[in-house]
A and B are shown apart, each in its own frame.
Chain A
Amino acid sequence: MPTSKIVYQKSAGLTDVPLTYCPGCTHGIIHKLVAQSLEELGLLERSIGISSVGCSALNYDFFSCDMVQVAHGRAPAVATGIKRVRDNAILFTYQGDGDLASIGIAEAIHAAHRSENITIIFVNNAIYGMTGGQMAPTTLIGQKTTTSPDGRDAKETGLPLKISEMMATIPGATYVERVSVHNPQHVNKAKKALKKAFDIQDKKQGFSLIEFVSTCPVNWGMTPKDAVDWAVEHMIPYYPLGVYKDRTKEEQAND
Chain B
Amino acid sequence: MAKVLMKGNEAMALAAIKAGCEAFYGYPITPQNELPEYMSKHMHENDRVFVQSESEVAAINMVYGAAAAGARVLTSSSSPGIALKQEGISYIAGSELPAVIINVMRGGPGLGGIQPSQGDYKQITRGGGNGDYYLYSLAPESLQEAVDLIKESFDIADYFRNPVMIAVDGLIGQMMEPVDFDHDVPKWTLEPKTWAADGNRSNGREKNIVNSLYLDPLVLEQHNLKLKAKYDEMKRDHQRYEMINMDKAEVVICAFGSTSRIARTSVEILKENGIECGIIRPITIFPFPTKAFEEIPQKVQDILVVEMNTGQMVDDVRLADQFRHNVHFYGRVGGVVPEAEEIVEQVMNIVGGAK
Contacts and interface: CB of A to CB of B under 8 A. Distances in A.
Interface of A: 45-48, 51, 57-58, 60-61, 63-71, 74, 77-86, 88-91, 106-107, 109-110, 113-114
Nearest to B59: A77
Given A48-B198, A77-B57, A89-B198, A70 B64 contact: yes
A106 B211 CA distance: 23
Most central of A46, A77, A81 by chain B CB within 10 Å? A81
A71 B57 CA distance: 10
B203 to A, nearest CB: 9
A198 to B, nearest CB: 13
Contact of A64 (B51, B67, B198, B207): B207
A209 B199 CA distance: 20
B301 interface: no
A-B residue pairs, 3 tightest by C-beta: A81-B65, A89-B199, A81-B62
Most central of A60, A86, A110 by chain B CB within 10 Å? A86
Nearest to B71: A85
A81 B25 CA distance: 8
A203 B64 CA distance: 25
Contacts of B64: 68, 70, 74, 78, 81
Contact of B207 (A67, A70, A81, A84): A67
A107 B87 CA distance: 15
Contacts of B211: 51, 60, 67-69
B55 A106 contact: yes
B201 to A, nearest CB: 4
A45 B61 CA distance: 24
B210 A69 contact: yes
B210 A80 contact: no
Given A69-B211, A90-B199, A82 B61 contact: no
Nearest to B129: A71
A107 B27 CA distance: 14
Contacts of B73: 81, 85
Interface string B60-74: 011111111101010
B60 to A, nearest CB: 8
11 contacts: A45-B199, A46-B200, A48-B197, A60-B209, A60-B211, A65-B201, A67-B211, A69-B209, A70-B65, A77-B59, A81-B23
Contacts of A89: 69, 198-200
A68 B62 contact: no
A72 B152 CA distance: 32
A68 B199 contact: no
Contacts of B190: none
Contacts of A47: 199
Contacts of B51: 80-81, 84, 114
A113 B71 CA distance: 24
Contact of A85 (B23, B207, B210): B23
A66 B66 contact: no
Contacts of A110: 53-54, 58
B286 interface: no
Contact of A45 (B55, B67, B87, B201): B201
A89 B87 CA distance: 26
B54 A107 contact: yes
A74 B197 CA distance: 17
Most central of B53, B68, B212 by chain A CB within 10 Å? B68
B22 to A, nearest CB: 6
A71 B53 contact: no
A188 B209 CA distance: 30
Contacts of B61: 70-71, 74, 77-78, 81, 107
B91 A46 contact: no
A85 B58 contact: no
A203 B199 CA distance: 16
Contacts of B207: 63-67
Given A81-B63, A82-B66, A109-B54, 10 more contacts: A46-B201, A68-B64, A70-B61, A71-B88, A74-B57, A80-B62, A81-B23, A106-B57, A106-B58, A107-B58
